[in-house]
Amino acid sequence: MTRRQKTKINEINYQRVKQPSVALRTRNPEDAFLQLQRTIGNQAVGRFLQAKLNVNQPDDKYEKEADWAAEQVMRMPETASSNPSNGLLQPHRALALSPLGPTILARKKPDDIKAVHKALFVTSPIGESCKKWRDKATKASPKTTGEEMVDEFRKNLEEDIKKRPLSVVGEVTAKTSESEIDTIASEVNQKILKKFGGVIKTPLTDTEVQDRVKILAAEKTKDPEFIKQWLANKLNTWTTIGEYCIDEDDKRFQKVLNDILADESMAKSVRTLASRQSAFFEGEAASRTVHIHKGMEAAKAESTLIHELVHFYAHPDYRQWNAKMIVPRYINEGFAEFLAREVEGGSARSSYEDRYEFIRDKVAKHVSVDDIASAYFAGEVWKVENISKVAKELFGVREKEKKKAK
Ligand SMILES: [Zn+2]
């Protein structure tokens, strides 16, 4: 099995795990696929390494520049109290009392809508059954599953450092300042509003956006909780733990994390790598904040922010619809990336390629970009899919509201 397939399966298995709370849900890694993007960093670093193998030049100006470029956007759990307006898992105010399904939904060709429904709600892009966790060593398997996970992690950590030795030494050079990130954030906001302002019901002001986009503070990355979350994300990409379908809060998962952190030879590298996380975000939609590493170049920060700001504008009804899908997180990333690429400067980031292609081939082939935008930003999900129960109910709620308003 290739690494790529494994990672895919990890993500899919996540969707199978029961998601009992917002806190648990948001703790799962969103972007496991980004791991696949771990190239050796920029070409200069590659060339430098090559040169270093041949000639030792202690004064080389690149000597101290760290290869921090972990191409990854990481999500962190929000604190439970900070997010009373998280609409995702709260029942829609009117959904509970919506016995009547809407009658007139179809505007599209039925076959197109059926195909979209099937892709989003019925067939999983990939599927695999959950493996059984082994708590006790046996003759046939002298290690517990937990111990095996620690070993897998150690192996991948060592390989990664061998490939990118600068990832754990030297200093990270600042490439983007707090004021630059503010400028980029407001530019990105304007670009999104220029493209989708027609369907975005409550646009954020540039100041509001700036308040929610920050340079990643060094202290933040030293927080033990941050490090643990970083490690949890990594564990999902560097080991096959996802194939066991256990939640990150599960004591078996937590024990693996603690065992790794208790091993100082691994923990030291983990701390350094975590401090070089390229970007991470906390919260969902309206309560989302994004932290960008100062080592990220402005152009890259821009395309990252376009994607992230598209997440800011996800309508609560869209999110409710998304939550019922077969692989919500995967598909949500697809929608966000698909729409981000419609925005000027929303250049393709290959780390999202498969999710983007899923939306392009399974959804956009059947419905227009405008309809996808209306579903995502305005919550008019029935323009994309109107067969699922949740889509019918959301449509019914809107129709009622419309009648009331008359
Ligand atoms: Zn995303």
CA of 318 to the centre of ligand 1 (A): 15
- Give the pLDDT of residue 342: 95
Q: Locate all alpha helices (DSSP H) within 101-202, ordered by sequence.
A: 110-117, 145-163, 178-196
Cβ of 199: how many Cβ atoms within 10 Å?
A: 18
How large is the average pLDDT for residues 250-269? Answer: 97
d(CA 146, CA 133): 8
Q: Does residue 251 register a pLDDT over 80?
A: yes
How many percent of the chain have pLDDT more than 70? 71
Please check whether residue 134 lies inside any domain of the structure. no
Task: Report pLDDT for 108.
Answer: 67
**Residue 106 domain-assigned?**
yes
Q: How far apart are CA 402 and CA 258, in angstroms?
A: 54
From the CA of 81, how far away is ligand 1's center (Å)?
23
In angstroms, what is the span from residue 308 Cα to ligand 1's centroid?
6
Q: Which has more pLDDT, 90 or 267?
A: 267
Q: Residue 199 above 60 pLDDT?
A: yes
Model confidence at 57: pLDDT above 70:
no
**What value does the mean pLDDT take over residues 221-231?**
92
Task: Please give the Cα distance from 85 to 341 (Å, whole number).
Answer: 28
CA distance 302 to 349: 11
Q: Is residue 395 part of a domain?
A: yes
Tell me, yes or no, whether 24 lies in a domain: yes
Burial profile 22-43: b = 16 or more Cβ within 10 angstroms, e = fewer:
bebbbbbbbbbbbbbbbeebee
The pLDDT assigned to 6 comes to: 40
39 — pLDDT class (breaks 50, 70, 90): very low
And the tokens for 12? 């899919």
Considering the chain, what percentage of its residues have pLDDT values greater than 90? 46
pLDDT beyond 60 at 257 = yes
Distance in angstroms (rounded) separating the CA atoms of residues 96 and 93: 7
Spatial distance between the Cα atoms of 52 and 64, rounded to a whole number of angstroms: 13
Question: Looking up tokens 């917002």, which residue turns up?
Answer: 22
Confidence category of residue 299, pLDDT binned at 50, 70, 90: confident
For residue 136, being part of any structural domain is answered with no
Tell me the one-letter amino acid at 397: V
Using the mean position of ligand 1's atoms as its centre, give its distance from the Cα of residue 97 in Å: 32
Q: Quick one: CA torsion of 387, 390, 391, 396, rounded to 10 degrees?
A: 110
Report CA(52)–ligand 1 centroid distance (Å). 37
CA 271 to chain centre: 21
Tell me if 305 is assigned to some domain: yes
The pLDDT of residue 198 is above 90? yes
Q: How confident is the model at residue 360 (pLDDT cuts 50, 70, 90)?
A: very high
pLDDT at site 55: 33
d(CA 294, CA 172): 8
Taking the centre of ligand 1 as the mean of its atom positions, its distance from the CA of residue 305, in whole angstroms, is 10
Which of 9-23, 155-169, 284-298 ranks highest by mean pLDDT? 155-169
Domain count, the chain: 1
C-beta separation of 192 from 184 below 8 A = no
Mean pLDDT confidence for 383-390: 95
Sign of CA dihedral 327, 276, 76, 259: positive
Average pLDDT, the chain: 76
Q: Which residue has the tokens 């503070």?
A: 217
CA 186 to ligand 1 center in whole angstroms: 19
Residue 286 domain-assigned? yes
Look at residue 385 and tell me whether its pLDDT is greater than 50. Answer: yes
Task: Indicate if the pLDDT at residue 328 is higher than 90.
Answer: no
Check whether 179 has a pLDDT greater than 50: yes
* 116 CA from centroid of ligand 1 (Å): 21
Which domain range does residue 239 map to? 3-128+143-405
In a domain, 180, yes or no: yes
Using pLDDT thresholds of 50, 70 and 90, give the confidence band for residue 155: very high
202-212 average pLDDT score: 94
Tell me if the pTM is above 0.85: no
Q: How far is the CA of 333 from the centre of ligand 1 (A)?
A: 5
Q: How far is the CA of 132 from the centre of ligand 1 (A)?
A: 30
Flag whether pLDDT at 106 surpasses 80.
no
CA 385 to the chain's CA centroid: 23
The pLDDT of residue 364 is 96
What is the 106 CA–ligand 1 centroid distance (Å)?
A: 30
Q: State the average pLDDT over residues 216-235.
A: 90
CA pair distance 315, 339, nearest whole angstrom: 13
Mean pLDDT of 384-400: 95
